[in-house]
Amino acid sequence: MKLRSLAVLGALALALVACDSKSKSHRIEDDEEDTPRRRATSASASAAPSVTASAVASVTASASAAPPPSATVASTDDDAPPPPAPTEEPKPPLSKEQLETYLKDPSAAVTAEVFETALLALSDCTLDRYGVDYRCPARKSFNEVVRRRVDYKERARVSLKHIRHPKPAVRYQAALSAPDAAFGTEASDTAPKAYIDALRSESEPTVLVQLVTGLHLGARKSDRVKKVLVSLIDHGDSRVREAVLRRFSDHEVAKGTPGIFERLATVVEKDADDRVRAEACASLAATENDAAIPIFEKMLAAPDTPKEVFAGCFEGAIQMWVGSPYPKKPSKVAYEATMKILERPGRSKDLPPWRGMSKLGLAKTEFKTYDRDGKAWFDTAKAFYDKARLVRALEGIALDEKAEFLPRSSAMSALRQLGEQKRLKAMAPKIKVQKDRSSKMLFEQAERDAKEPTF
């Protein structure tokens, strides 16, 4: 037994020696194989100082403008500050002379290089409250390039590349197309982060408004976008707050954002800007929270409610019983609040508001076979909804010379959607003889809508 044990131990010892020897051999081979790599790396490192400063700046600008690698997205903390924007303007692919030559040839095709050159040329322009200064020559050249129909994919890709350009005018124009590249069906894994970084770092309100406005799809798809939007609800510029709150009027965005109802309700009560309060009130309906109805009732009944806020809450009340998408639980209380405003006598330029009236055309009683949502809505709403009552109210508004053009026009559009073409035909002669300054346009619309089919 002892001899057998000794034999086993001896065999194990020989195996260990053999393994160690083989391991050393492999290490030696690996060392020899890595030596050229190390030498090359060392040579490259020692040669690095010879790179010119302009080349370094160019590489830095390019890296900042281009979308970051996917590995960075995976490891980035949502609360970490975005990487710094480039301070040096990127060089356009074409010279100024080449762009001018292109513009002289009306048959020349628009390439990505031409579009990028025209976009970067906007760095010579200033930015006003409404966008790039229309008097700037570079803007006129850019408009000519766009007029020739740039491929939208290339346009979006180039725009996203320069979404954090040092000059505000370029960033603003880039923000108009960049969302397609950031959140479209063919967006790369890193593209959303590039857009979100721009959104988080933007300091120019006019550019930020455009970045927020372009988030139709991005706010639906990205929880990070929703988080950034919530952080901007308290932004110092009222234009930014208004644009942000408009994004929350989207049901998919509002329902996917925790605590948004409470934030919207607070804005309705406390924000210093009436337009911002109006957007918040209208967006309350998108949360599908029944607690919004008392807020609508209060604002629509109070005599001192500012007209902008009144209009926003009116739209919210409509959306609580009919709209797109159809509410899952149409509210009888919201319906009665809506009808009270539509039927109120003493119409004026502020009563009824035009906001939300286009949605009333969706309150149909007959639906196409494929319109399951509409049928489901009517199955619930028919317990309280009176279509004839709504039609009478809309006709009264359309014929009332004291009401403003937009609500009258919206009332007629709603009647057409509700299948009231015969009624519109009968209304046209009554409008034709009116002396109101907009009666001619309304008469033409009545005749046109009377001939249009119901969809």
The residue extents of the domains of the chain are 81-211, 321-455
Q: How confident is the model at residue 45 (pLDDT cuts 50, 70, 90)?
A: very low
Please report the pLDDT score of residue 86 as a whole number: 87
Please report the pLDDT score of residue 80 as a whole number: 81
What percent of the chain clears pLDDT 90, i.e. is strictly above it?
78
CB 288 within 8 A of CB 329: yes
Residue 49 has pLDDT above 50, yes or no: no
Please report the pLDDT score of residue 149 as a whole number: 86
DSSP state string for 79-136 = TSPPPPPPSSPPPPSS-HHHHHHHHT-TTPPP-HHHHHHHHHGGGGS-EETTEE-TT-
Q: Which of 212, 365, 327, 221 is nearest to 279 (CA)?
A: 212
Please report the pLDDT score of residue 187 as a whole number: 95
pTM here?
0.80
* pLDDT tens digits, 324-376: 999 999 999 999 999 999 999 999 999 999 999 999 999 999 999 999 999 99
* Sign of CA pseudo-dihedral 428, 324, 310, 335: positive
* pLDDT tens digits, 202-242: 999 999 999 999 999 999 999 999 999 999 999 999 999 99
Q: Which of 217, 237, 221, 224 is nearest to 198 (CA)?
A: 224
Q: Which of 366, 378, 439, 364 is nearest to 404 (CA)?
A: 439
Q: Which of 193, 256, 250, 271 is nearest to 223 (CA)?
A: 256
d(Cα 376, Cα 438) in Å, to the nearest integer? 38
CA distances for 136 relative to 58, 126, 127, 139, 215, angstroms: 27, 8, 10, 5, 28
Please report the pLDDT score of residue 453 as a whole number: 85
Interacting residues of 453 by C-beta distance below 8 A, sequence separation 6+: none
Residue 37 has pLDDT above 80, yes or no: no
Over the chain, what is the mean pLDDT?
A: 86
Please report the pLDDT score of residue 78 as a whole number: 62
Place of tokens 């020739």: 148
Residue 249 corresponds to which tokens in the numbers above? 């009027």
Residue 196 has pLDDT above 60, yes or no: yes
What letter does residue 351 receive in the DSSP assignment?
A: B
Residue 26 has pLDDT above 50, yes or no: no
Tell how far CA 419 is from the center of its chain. 33
Report the Cα–Cα distance between both ends of the chain, in Å, rounded: 97
Q: Which of 347, 129, 99 is nearest to 238 (CA)?
A: 129
Q: Which of 384, 415, 245 is nearest to 315 (CA)?
A: 245
Please report the pLDDT score of residue 183 as a whole number: 97
Residue 30 has pLDDT above 70, yes or no: no
Reported residue count of the chain is 455
CA distances for 318 relative to 308, 323, 388, 414, 415, angstroms: 16, 7, 17, 13, 16
Residue 387 has pLDDT above 70, yes or no: yes
d(Cα 322, Cα 360) in Å, to the nearest integer? 7
d(Cα 360, Cα 413) in Å, to the nearest integer? 9
Residue 64 has pLDDT above 80, yes or no: no
d(Cα 166, Cα 149) in Å, to the nearest integer? 26
Q: How confident is the model at residue 436 (pLDDT cuts 50, 70, 90)?
A: confident
One-letter amino acid at 417 equals Q
What percent of the chain clears pLDDT 70, i.e. is strictly above it?
82
Residue 277 has pLDDT above 90, yes or no: yes
CA distances for 271 relative to 2, 246, 258, 266, angstroms: 92, 15, 21, 8
Residue 31 has pLDDT above 50, yes or no: no
Residue 130 corresponds to which tokens in the numbers above? 């409404």
Residue 404 has pLDDT above 60, yes or no: yes
Please report the pLDDT score of residue 77 as a whole number: 53
d(Cα 97, Cα 264) in Å, to the nearest integer? 52
Residue 420 has pLDDT above 80, yes or no: yes
Q: Please provide residue 357's backbone torsions phi and psi, each rounded to the nearest 5 degrees.
A: -65, -30
* pLDDT tens digits, 257-266: 999 999 999 9
* pLDDT tens digits, 74-114: 334 567 889 998 889 999 999 999 999 999 998 898 999 99
Residue 199 has pLDDT above 70, yes or no: yes
